[in-house]
A and B are shown apart, each in its own frame.
Chain A
Amino acid sequence: MSEPLLKIDGLTKTFHVAKSASGNTRLKALDGISLTVGRGETLGLVGESGCGKSTLARTLMMLETPDEGTVSFEGTNPFGLRGKELLGWRRRVQMVFQDPFASLNARMNAGDIIAEPWATHRGLYPTSREREARVRELLHMVGLRPSDARKSPQEFSGGQRQRIGIARALALNPDVMILDEPVSALDLSVQAQVLNLLNELQQELGVSYIFISHDLTVVRHVADRVAVMYLGRIIETGATEEVFDHPRHPYTAALMSASPKLDVTGTRRDRIVLQGELPSPLDPPSGCRFRTRCWKAQDICADLSPEPQVLAAPDGTKHVAECHFPLDSIKGLTGATAAAMSTATAAAQSTATAAAQ
């Protein structure tokens, strides 16, 4: 792959909150996020609530200003742009929201909702005739009828509303679409319709997707690459099959394992059930952030934050995990095997980290 379309490097965002139990008022929502998104690629972003997925999406939409780190979009840093150039950049990154009931203005009809972005980006379709034609075209692209333009949002079902939200995002011909849980509010049968639509649109238009979801089954279906977030950090990235079939970070393995599977063979899987819950992002644990829930944690995990490690993936793709004791690539490990393994890897790892310092 040539130069990625979007390159994020060391993005950090801290919020100041009134007061927390520990007296800490700095909430590090993003803590050194680095990612790339290629042209026409789908990057799946998974993680539990509060891990920073939405803050990352908002920062990429320039709704938040990062404290540190850079965003490079075809080599330009959008945070350095002003005026017309900034407007031009904003056109190229658009977002589809989770809740199709809250994200459409109930006082506007569908056609006006889809056309509204052009009120800001005036040059795109200057005449009303062009705008009307384009609205019809967009409605057709998302599988709605031209006559639907005059209906108001409450006349549509949830799935149809989400189609309107997608049409609005497409109105500016973006290069990147950030899809924030685009199908989680939809019923299963409708969810499949919308996923098919997104897939067709991507093939037709070559747009890149950042697909945020907590539903691992859906992410596995749509994403080319996956990034797993935990407490403001990306703890594992890699090609979708590779990450799902051979998770290397214990958190990824636990997440995959906890996600229910539609398997009716009747064998109950040996499941990794993590103890405890997500620590407060106000008081993240020292060292590795996952160590409080990790069954492989050693002393080093509390002392030293693990660096991203590039691990060998059998299919030659890049697989990165932030862990002192990454799981064996053969198979996600559980309990006893993991414990037995960890002693050996601990020795190897501590030498490696010592050498690195």
Chain B
Amino acid sequence: MKTATDQAPAKRSRAAATAAAAGTGAATGQAKAHDVVLQVRDLAVDIRTHRGTVRAVNSVAFEARAGETLALLGESGCGKSMTAKALAGIMDPVCDLADGEILLNGTDLAALTAKERLKFAGPELGIVFQDALTALNPVYTVGTQLGEAFRIHRGLNAKQARVEAIDLMKRVGIPEPESRINSYPHQFSGGMRQRILIAMAVALNPRLLIADEPTTALDVTVQAQIMQLLRKLREEGQMAVILITHDLAVVAEEADSVAVMYAGNVVESGPVSEVFADPRHPYTKGLLESVPVHLERGARLKSIAGSPPELHDIPAGCVYQSRCPLVQDICRAERPVLRPVTSVTGTPVTGAPVTGTPVNVPSGTEPRPARTAACHFSEEINNV
């Protein structure tokens, strides 16, 4: 913890310079816990297909805070990975950023050219992918790949970069880094490869780490190790972490706040403890009820009937209408927007006043993101 804090200003200097050069005037040094690092507003992504242009991500909004984990939760095809790629600026050529702002420490990444954005990849923003074997280059040693960030962004030579790479491997818990640095990705186990990928993402101490299903391909005992490592790195660097996952239990254990996505839209967001205890969108409620817990063995699980709409075929009105037990005429006519929702006690759940919060305050006293849901019947949902 201490060492990381001491090193941070030195390692940051160039990152800050890049940010300043890009015209941001972002604050130097480590972000304070719970500061808003990333703000996404009205994000929309279009995909050009042979059947016409479809909207894969639609008016998505959320914020990520330093030292906290925001989970983007959703099933396959809901647009969560597309959102991550849009944030990192690595979308497929057939995808367009149609609308929205991506404010990273005040700089709108969406307004920058691809070349300008390159300066942010590494020093400001790191990304970890699901499949470490395809994300790593098989023809270079891991040392070369780990050192790349230092050579490109900090101008180090190969020898200096190697020293940094060994240091990184130690940080992410790879044993015998001095000898393993010359190995190729296929010579590592799945868990170790994921550690290497994480090391590459955090090499330059970014403020924002995007982890796209980082443990889905791993066994559960290794998943626990990787999650422990991500927590450690998040605390050391006071990074904001965006964790993309389909696993409700991972969200419950790892995230501070959650944005639930469905058919390209955020349908509900807020602190995990509140959203999971008292869901205010029928989709979130349905997901939570689909998990086989607290049930007699073999008891019938509640499931959500049907399947998500095709992107070509998103209905007017609410995106969830075809599967929703509460659907009314208004749901077919009018798409509900994300709006603040009230808690069980009837008072609106809003952010607590931001004070000079110390690091690692117990949960409950930190500033909370507001709870929102996109449903016409958020208030009535628990009466059915």
A residues with CB within 8 A of B: 48-49, 157, 159, 187-193, 195-196, 199, 214, 216-218, 220-224, 240-241, 254-255, 257-264, 266, 268, 271, 273-275, 277-278
Question: Residues of A contacting B222 with CB < 8 Å?
Answer: 48, 277
Question: Residues of B contacting A196 with CB < 8 Å?
Answer: 300-301, 303
Chain B min CB distance to A253 (Å): 11
Would A192 and B298 be within 8 Å (CB), given that A214-B220, A268-B253, A274-B221 are in contact?
no
- In the complex, the answer to whether B249 meets A262 with C-beta atoms within 8 Å is yes
Is B219 interfacial (CB 8 A cutoff)?
yes
Question: Residues of B contacting A257 with CB < 8 Å?
Answer: 224
Binds A, one of B27-35, B60-68, B289-297, B368-376: B289-297
- In the complex, the answer to whether A260 meets B247 with C-beta atoms within 8 Å is yes
Chain B min CB distance to A346 (Å): 25
- In the complex, the answer to whether A277 meets B276 with C-beta atoms within 8 Å is no
- In the complex, the answer to whether B297 meets A262 with C-beta atoms within 8 Å is no
Would A254 and B221 be within 8 Å (CB), given that A192-B303, A221-B298 are in contact?
yes
Question: Residues of B contacting A221 with CB < 8 Å?
Answer: 292, 295, 297-298, 301
- In the complex, the answer to whether B276 meets A258 with C-beta atoms within 8 Å is no
Among all A-B residue pairs, the 10 with the closest Cβ atoms: A221-B292, A192-B303, A260-B249, A189-B304, A258-B224, A187-B75, A192-B290, A48-B219, A192-B301, A264-B276
A221-B300 Cα distance, complex, nearest whole Å: 10
- In the complex, the answer to whether A266 meets B297 with C-beta atoms within 8 Å is no
- In the complex, the answer to whether B297 meets A195 with C-beta atoms within 8 Å is no
Query: Chain B 253-279 against A: per-residue CB contact (8 Å), 1 yes, 0 no?
Result: 110000000000000000011001100
Contact of A192 among B221, B254, B292, B297 (CB under 8 A): B292
Contact of A188 among B192, B221, B224, B290 (CB under 8 A): B290
- In the complex, the answer to whether A48 meets B76 with C-beta atoms within 8 Å is no
A195-B295 Cα distance, complex, nearest whole Å: 13
- In the complex, the answer to whether A264 meets B272 with C-beta atoms within 8 Å is yes
Chain B min CB distance to A187 (Å): 4
A6-B100 Cα distance, complex, nearest whole Å: 60
Question: Residues of B contacting A224 with CB < 8 Å?
Answer: 297
Question: Residues of A contacting B288 with CB < 8 Å?
Answer: 262
Would A193 and B292 be within 8 Å (CB), given that A261-B252, A264-B273, A277-B191 are in contact?
no
- In the complex, the answer to whether A190 meets B224 with C-beta atoms within 8 Å is no
Would A260 and B253 be within 8 Å (CB), given that A192-B303, A221-B298 are in contact?
yes
Would A264 and B297 be within 8 Å (CB), given that A188-B248, A277-B222 are in contact?
no
Whose C-beta in chain A lies nearest to the C-beta of B300?
A196
Question: Residues of B contacting A217 with CB < 8 Å?
Answer: 249, 291-293
Question: Residues of A contacting B273 with CB < 8 Å?
Answer: 264, 266
- In the complex, the answer to whether A49 meets B219 with C-beta atoms within 8 Å is yes
- In the complex, the answer to whether B220 meets A216 with C-beta atoms within 8 Å is yes
- In the complex, the answer to whether B252 meets A262 with C-beta atoms within 8 Å is yes
A263-B189 Cα distance, complex, nearest whole Å: 31
Would A273 and B295 be within 8 Å (CB), given that A191-B290, A261-B253, A262-B248 are in contact?
no
- In the complex, the answer to whether B303 meets A255 with C-beta atoms within 8 Å is no
- In the complex, the answer to whether A258 meets B293 with C-beta atoms within 8 Å is no
A268-B228 Cα distance, complex, nearest whole Å: 12
- In the complex, the answer to whether A193 meets B303 with C-beta atoms within 8 Å is yes
Would A218 and B228 be within 8 Å (CB), given that A262-B249, A268-B253, A277-B191 are in contact?
no
Is B355 interfacial (CB 8 A cutoff)?
no
A216-B363 Cα distance, complex, nearest whole Å: 28
Chain A min CB distance to B221 (Å): 5
- In the complex, the answer to whether B301 meets A214 with C-beta atoms within 8 Å is no
- In the complex, the answer to whether B303 meets A258 with C-beta atoms within 8 Å is no
Whose C-beta in chain A lies nearest to the C-beta of B231?
A268
Would A218 and B75 be within 8 Å (CB), given that A254-B221, A264-B252, A264-B273 are in contact?
no
Contact of B287 among A189, A241, A268 (CB under 8 A): A189
- In the complex, the answer to whether B292 meets A159 with C-beta atoms within 8 Å is no
Question: Residues of B contacting A48 with CB < 8 Å?
Answer: 219-222
Q: What are 6 A-B pairs with beta-carbon distances under 8 A?
A: A192-B291, A192-B301, A260-B253, A262-B291, A264-B272, A277-B192
User: Given A196-B300, A262-B252, A273-B224, 16 more contacts at CB 8 Å?
Assistant: A48-B221, A187-B76, A189-B286, A189-B303, A192-B304, A195-B301, A199-B298, A214-B219, A217-B291, A221-B295, A261-B252, A261-B253, A264-B273, A264-B276, A277-B189, A277-B222
Chain A min CB distance to B320 (Å): 11
A277-B174 Cα distance, complex, nearest whole Å: 12
Whose C-beta in chain B lies nearest to the C-beta of A218?
B292
Is B98 interfacial (CB 8 A cutoff)?
no
Is B119 interfacial (CB 8 A cutoff)?
no
